Amino acid sequence: MPQKTMRDAINEALHQEMAADERVFVIGEDVAGGNGSDGTVGCAGGVFGVTAGLYDKFGPLRCVDTPISESAIVGAAAGAALSGMRPVAEIMFADFIGVCMDQIFNQMAKFRYMFGGKSRCPAVIRFASGAGFSAAAQHSQSMYQIMTAVPGLKVVVPSNAYDAKGLLLTAIRDDDPVLFFEPKALYQEACEVPDEPYTIPFGEAAMPREGDDVTVVAFGQMVGRAAAAIDGLEDQGITCDLIDPRTTSPLDADTILESVKATGRLVVVDESPPRCGLTADIAAMAADRAFHSLKAPIKQVCAPHTPVPFSPELEAAYVPSVQKIQAAILEVMR
């Protein structure tokens, strides 16, 4: 099977679904690029190149460049979705959610409920999320933990190129609003990705490692680090289940709880700060629903309660490292 980066896998999914369904279009800042200039229209394909080629293939009505107006972008996606289209909006950095939060959490998330179940808003919003580029406090946040809190949204966090393609196709075909967070540190990471379209259902976790001693749940960028941490402990005779929920909402609670019931130990890893985040969310669930199986305190490995720092050294200290994950696993094994 061909190796593809996460960037290319997502790009391929967009190409395929836009070809298959003419209701699908992309909209955002520089998703084409070059509009109004003396140069080449379509030159950008998004600042991360994820929408490259869509303008040339599908033209300006389906690869829609916009001014820097995130509320209008999300609103336009919401309105087009209510009117029968299947927009895929790009909000570039997840941190920019702050300038369009209302349209996401008060509007698209709530339409169906407020309207008594009589509407559908099949919009996808894509974001590049997370740390790893020394992009500092306003360009490095993950944000999916905050959006998971919002009823009415589905929230996707792929950890590899294969999942990214399959989950994005599911997202576009889903009739509910979906927020799709792409860990930007993984854009260049490649794995085997089939050429043909395929879907991965929401609410079904992946389990890239299986073991007996500890259940490790990790999200997005942290899945690879957790895997490395687990692999590095093998020669100490410690084996772990590694669970990648893939979608944080809906959440595959069953897989997590089943594993915790088997291992009796839980470590949850995310790159967000600790308060009211996903590590707490999963830990709290287990402390209720798997309580009687627990053999050790539940450990959360996450960022500190600080903004993301700029300096490479500080950023490295900020994002949970393989070592920190291992330390937590060892701690619950004591």
Partner 1 sequence: MSLDKTALARAYRQMKTIREFEERAHAEIMNGQIAGFTHLYTGQEANAVGVCEHLSGADTIISTHRGHGHCIARGADVKGMMAELWGSSAGLCKGKGGSMHVADVDNGILGANGIVAGGPPISVGSALAAKQKGTNNVAVSFSGDGSVNQGTCFEAMNLAVVLQVPAIFVIENNYYSEHTSINYAVGCDDLKARTEGFGFPVFVANGVDFFDVHEAAGKAIEHARAGNGPAGVFCEQGRFHGHFVGDPQGYRGEGELDRLRQDYDCLKHFRERVTGTGEMSHEELDAIDAEVMALIDEAVSAARAAPRPTAADLETDVYINYAAQGV
Q: Is 139 a catalytic residue?
A: yes
Backbone angles phi, psi at 163, to 5 degrees: -65, -40
Contact partner, 128, from partner 1, a copy of itself, ligand TPP, none, Cβ < 5-8 Å per class: none
Stretch that binds ligand TPP, among 19-27, 92-100, 172-180, 246-254 (CB under 6 A): 92-100
Stretch that binds partner 1, among 11-19, 58-66, 230-238, 262-270 (CB under 8 A): 58-66
Least spacing, CB of residue 253 vs partner 1, in Å: 6
Is 154 near partner 1 (CB under 8 A)? Answer: yes
Q: Whose CB is nearest to ligand TPP?
A: 96
Choice between 17 and 70, CB closer to ligand TPP: 70
Is 70 near ligand TPP (CB under 6 A)? Answer: yes
Residue 192 buriedness (CB in 10 A; 0-12 / 13-18 / 19+) = exposed
CB 170 within 8 A of CB 194: no
Among 58, 96, 105, 202, binds ligand TPP (CB under 6 A): 96
CA–CA dist 21, 114 (Å, integer):
29
CB 131 within 8 A of CB 120: no
3-state secondary structure the chain: CCEEEHHHHHHHHHHHHHHHCCCEEEEECCCCCCCCCCCCCCCCCCCCCCCCCHHHHHCCCCEEECCCCHHHHHHHHHHHHHCCCEEEEEEEEHHHHHHCHHHHHHHHCCHHHHCCCCCCCCCEEEEEECCCCCCCCCCCCCCHHHHHCCCCCEEECCCCHHHHHHHHHHHHHCCCCEEEEEEHHHCCCEEECCCCCCCCCCCCCEEEECCCCEEEEECCHHHHHHHHHHHHHHHHCCCEEEEECCEEECCCHHHHHHHHHHHCCEEEECCCCCCCCHHHHHHHHHHHHCHHHCCCCCEEECCCCCCCCCCHHHHHHHCCCHHHHHHHHHHHHC
Least spacing, CB of residue 93 vs a copy of itself, in Å: 10
Choice between 139 and 332, CB closer to partner 1: 139
Catalytic pick among 15, 139, 292, 305: 139
Q: Given the structure tokens 């069953």, which residue do they identify? A: 254
Subset of residues 61 to 100 that bind partner 1, contact rule: CB under 8 A: 61-62, 64-85, 87, 95-96, 98-99
Choice between 43 and 191, CB closer to partner 1: 43
Is 128 near ligand TPP (CB under 6 A)? Answer: no
> What is the number of other CB atoms lying within 10 angstroms of the CB of residue 84?
9
Is 65 near ligand TPP (CB under 6 A)? Answer: no
Size of the site for ligand TPP (CB under 6 A): 6
Subset of residues 11 to 50 that bind partner 1, contact rule: CB under 8 A: 25, 27, 29-30, 33-40, 43-44, 47
CB 242 within 8 A of CB 204: no
Stretch that binds ligand TPP, among 91-99, 167-175, 261-269, 302-310 (CB under 6 A): 91-99
Is 72 near ligand TPP (CB under 6 A)? Answer: no
Among 15, 53, 120, 296, binds partner 1 (CB under 8 A): 120
Subset of residues 258 to 287 that bind partner 1, contact rule: CB under 8 A: 275
Contact partner, 203, from ligand TPP, partner 1, a copy of itself, none, Cβ < 5-8 Å per class: partner 1
Please give the residue ranges that form the binding site for a copy of itself (CB under 8 A).
71, 95-99, 101-106, 109-110, 113-114, 136-138, 145-146, 148-152, 249, 251, 272-273, 275-281, 283-289, 291-292, 294, 296-300, 304-307, 309-310
Residues that bind ligand TPP (CB under 6 A): 29, 68, 70, 92, 96, 99
Give the active site residues: 139
